Amino acid sequence: MIYMGDVQRRKATTLLREQCANFDRVTSSCLLLSSYDYEPCPQLLTSSLICRYFRDAVLPADKLLNAQIMGESGVKGCESCGQPFRAVSNRAKFCDRCAKIRQRDQARIRMQKIRG
């Protein structure tokens, strides 16, 4: 069973309320579980990841939260654009696209200093 911290649980609850197709916003119930009675959504009531539909269909919409909850090590958020990326070292701060842009900008500044 996978457990979430408080911050992760709040983000997951927000994601569930906004994007889950089986969540009834009027009654805060799960449409898959409620046949005649309104069953509360079990994912809202617990800090563990128990709903398969949420884990497989809704959670991948937020890649950084998905990586944090599912325990994919080496996934960080880019300081420039905020997108999750797989870090190849502990010093990595930027995704590949932003790293190339930053490297090009620093080279431009360095060459301007050399040329005077």
Helices (H), 20-93: 42-45, 52-53, 63-70
Q: 58 with 19: CB under 8 angstroms?
A: yes
> What does pTM read for this prediction?
0.61
What are the sequence ranges of the domains in the chain? Answer: 2-115
Contact 62, 11 (CB under 8 A): yes
pLDDT tens-digit profile of 17-54? 999 998 988 888 888 887 777 778 889 888 988 988 99
The answer to whether the beta carbons of residues 54 and 46 sit under 8 Å apart is no
For 63-96, the pLDDT digits (tens) are: 888 888 877 667 788 999 988 887 878 899 999 9
Predicted confidence (pLDDT) per residue in 91-111, tens digit: 999 999 999 999 999 999 999
Please calculate the CA angle 17-18-24 and round it to the nearest 5 degrees: 50
- pLDDT for 73 equals 67
How many residues in the chain? 116
State the pairing for strand pair 48-49/2-3. antiparallel
User: What's the CA gap between 113 and 7, in Å, rounded?
Assistant: 45
